[in-house]
Structure 1
Amino acid sequence: MLSRAERDRKVRVVLILEGSANVVVLIAKTVVGIYTGSSAILSDALHSLTDVFNNVFAYIALRISASPPDKNHPYGHRKFETLAVFVLATLLSVIAIEIVIRAYERIGNPILPSRWGLAVMFGVLLVNIAISSWENYQAKRLNSDLLKADSKHTFSDVLTTIAVIAGWQLATHGYPIFDFILAVFVSAFVFYLAYQLFRKSIPILVDEAAVDQAKIAESIEQIDDVIKIERLRSRNIGQETFADVVVTVRPNMSTEESHNVADLIEEELYNNFGIDDVVVHVEPMRV
């Protein structure tokens, strides 16, 4: 089994390779878009620009989040990874608006056919398919949520590139409105991606409960000597889950017995709920 440091290193290598490929894809789309005047292709190029930013953000966040806990960050730095996802979602939202504005401004401009441009776009499509498949494989192999999310983002490039090629070809055959329609489609899809990233990052940033509190409480109450659960909280920090529990026990229990109860609770939450870090406070029942 890979250590966390080794896993993070391999994930960073994947991000570097993917980022390099995305730069090539970005350049190819931009050149074809400028030459042909297709707003749909230029919109897709902006989408690819966000892919490059995504790789940069993910790489930096992964480096920071891998840092060990310190005096100012006793829980570690894993939330920096989540913060990067939130920033990317904000960037995607801005790009989506920009795509629609630019597409509207270009309505009526001539759109040129190009055999070499079409060949380049099909090449880009094949590259995106290869990147998405490879990254999805690496995400499963390394058990990386970051790569899983990014592979879905890359797969969206496959769908949008197909739509963009279709809109461009329809526009060059006498249906220019389809170029604008497909640009709007790309914008809507980018908004959807932003929504997914917001939905994933915001609950972690605001410390939403990470697991079903009722199920955890029911499990803890089955442990001998636990009389009552006074407090139960959980949250995610990056890929790790933290929980703190306050329980009451018999007032005549020894320190060692109380410690054993705490150990049982920690084992229960780790084994059955996958909670990585559990803090248990044991209090005597007031009589």
Structure 2
Amino acid sequence: MSLSTARAKEKQDVARTTTWTSIALNCVLSTAQLTVGFIAHSQALLADGVHSLSDLVSDFIVLIANHRSAAAPDHDHNYGHSRYETVASLFLGGLLIAVGAGMLWRAGTRVLNLDDIPPVHASALVVALIVLVSKEALFRYMLRAAERVRSALLVANAWHARSDAASSLVVALGIIGSLAGLKFFDPIAAALVGFMVGKMGWSFAWDALQDLSDRALDQTAAADLRAILLGTPGVREVHELRTRKMGDLAIVDAHILVDPRISVSEGHFIAESARAHVMTDPRVIDALIHVDPESDALNPLPGNFPLRSTAMDAVRAAFGAESLPIEELNLHYLSSGFDIDIVLPAHLPDQLGEDAAARLARIDIDALKRKLGAHELRVTHALRTTRDAPARP
């Protein structure tokens, strides 16, 4: 089992365990809140009960999203299904906003009709305190597990439980005020709960919307990834490092600078090594590494210099006139100019003897450079290496 697969399985197991724990607790608490809230005439406790019911809905959303996000990439989702978690967070945020708005509306109508509010029974306070302690304990348990597996959706669900604890505290204070004879305390507490729920929903929805809009990792995480890439042997510099979030993970796109005169295969090897290194970061789900010989800001635009076919035809014509075969032709498109490396067969001196040097001397290298717009032209063979034409006799 690969490291990424093991992490995904652990995350799924933790999500399942913590969410079912939350479901069981919320079933018990919401039943107690709604029942006692109705009997004890506490609008605040009823509002908190509705809040707990919304927790049940969000818990099931988490379970569904966790199951779907773990699916392997397919032809419709080449990068996997991690954004199901982000979509679920957006839906959860919208649900909380709707629940909060309903609570505010109901609390507002109660405040306008204070005379119709019956006295609150002390049993409502007991239930509110039990819920407060239970939700705070659930929050601490869920947050610890969510941070361990780096799940934004589970962190959001954990803080949802903390918002429940905070709202239960407000409910308890409202009930205490109501028991003291201040009737408006109970509906005011219900309104505060509604506001807190709506605010939490807006926070979840906004964060999810940003992630769905290809939000990048924060600067600290990006700096960590840059350091990993720079630590790869053969990488001289990293530029145009870009990331975009996919649920709790991210896709990385980076340009690396390598020695401009190495072979294509070596450049590819360095790029694959850099990709393998950056993929060890638990935040990275995939990476695309582009190899550059130098900064894109300096590199000349394509089309300013001849293509390989044009250069090859000109070189073969010039060397063919002297019956000199070409073993290899390497082209370098650099900010300093267009460089050409011509490699003659290693056995050529053995076949032609001193005549090989004489034939090479008759080639007008300067004219060939001017024709191709080359900055440098190097000819390499077993006898010597020259940058320009040898002196004519």
Is this a same-fold pair by TM over 0.5? yes
Code of the residue aligned with 1:4 in structure 2: it is A
1:136 aligns with 2:136: no
> Which residue of 2 is the match for residue 196 of structure 1?
203
> Which residue of 1 is the match for residue 99 of structure 2?
95
1:2-151 mapped onto 2 (5 Å cutoff): 3-107=7-111, 108=114, 109-151=116-158
* Alpha-carbon distance in 2 for matches of 1:113, 1:207: 50
Tell which deviates more after alignment, 14-23 or 258-267: 258-267
Aligned pair partner of 1:168 in 162, 175, 182 = 175
Max radius of gyration: which structure? Answer: 2
Residue by residue over 1:65-113, the C-alpha shift from the partner in whole angstroms, topping out at 9 and shown as x without a partner, is 0111111011101100110001111111111111111111223222333
Displacement after TM superposition at 1:224 (Å): 7.3
> Which residue of 1 is the match for residue 337 of structure 2?
none
SS at the partner of 2:284?
A: coil
Distance 1:121 1:221, change over 3 A: closer
C-alpha contact 1:136 1:151 (8 A) present in aligned 2? yes
1:237 aligns with 2:246: yes
* Alpha-carbon distance in 1 for matches of 2:137, 2:229: 47
Aligned pair partner of 1:260 in 269, 274, 279 = 269
Residue by residue over 1:265-286, the C-alpha shift from the partner in whole angstroms, topping out at 9 and shown as x without a partner, is 3256446795342111225553
Distance 1:251 1:139, change over 3 A: closer
Distance 1:41 1:88, change over 3 A: same
* Alpha-carbon distance in 1 for matches of 2:277, 2:102: 50
* Alpha-carbon distance in 2 for matches of 1:101, 1:66: 39
> Which residue of 2 is the match for residue 281 of structure 1?
290
Displacement after TM superposition at 1:60 (Å): 0.4
Aligned pair partner of 1:155 in 162, 179, 183 = 162
Which segments of 5 or more consecutive residues in structure 1 lack a partner in the other structure?
none
Identity %: 27
Code of the residue aligned with 1:105 in structure 2: it is T
* Alpha-carbon distance in 2 for matches of 1:218, 1:138: 28
* Alpha-carbon distance in 2 for matches of 1:228, 1:120: 61
Distance 1:122 1:105, change over 3 A: same
Distance 1:277 1:83, change over 3 A: same
Tell which deviates more after alignment, 239-248 or 228-237: 228-237
Distance 1:174 1:13, change over 3 A: same
1:210 aligns with 2:204: no
SS at the partner of 2:23?
A: helix
SS at the partner of 1:73?
A: coil
Code of the residue aligned with 1:260 in structure 2: it is F
1:243-254 mapped onto 2 (5 Å cutoff): 243-247=252-256, 249=258, 252-254=261-263
* Alpha-carbon distance in 1 for matches of 2:233, 2:144: 44
Larger fraction in helix: 1
Code of the residue aligned with 1:237 in structure 2: it is M
Residue by residue over 1:36-84, the C-alpha shift from the partner in whole angstroms, topping out at 9 and shown as x without a partner, is 3322222212221221111011010000001111110111011001100
Give the TM-score normalised by the residue count of structure 1. 0.86
* Alpha-carbon distance in 1 for matches of 2:42, 2:101: 17
C-alpha contact 2:236 2:257 (8 A) present in aligned 1? yes
Tell which deviates more after alignment, 277-286 or 93-102: 277-286
Greater relative CO (CA pairs within 8 A, separation 6+): 1
* Alpha-carbon distance in 1 for matches of 2:30, 2:233: 61
Residue by residue over 1:204-248, the C-alpha shift from the partner in whole angstroms, topping out at 9 and shown as x without a partner, is 111012243984668867877667767442111112221122446
SS at the partner of 2:243?
A: strand
Distance 1:43 1:223, change over 3 A: same
RMSD: 2.9
C-alpha contact 1:211 1:234 (8 A) present in aligned 2? no
Which segments of 5 or more consecutive residues in structure 2 lack a partner in the other structure?
294-298, 300-332, 335-393
Code of the residue aligned with 2:154 in structure 1: it is L
Residue by residue over 1:12-59, the C-alpha shift from the partner in whole angstroms, topping out at 9 and shown as x without a partner, is 122112112112211111112222332222221222122111101101
> Which residue of 1 is the match for residue 384 of structure 2?
none
Q: How many residues get paired?
A: 287
Code of the residue aligned with 2:95 in structure 1: it is L
* Alpha-carbon distance in 2 for matches of 1:25, 1:131: 12
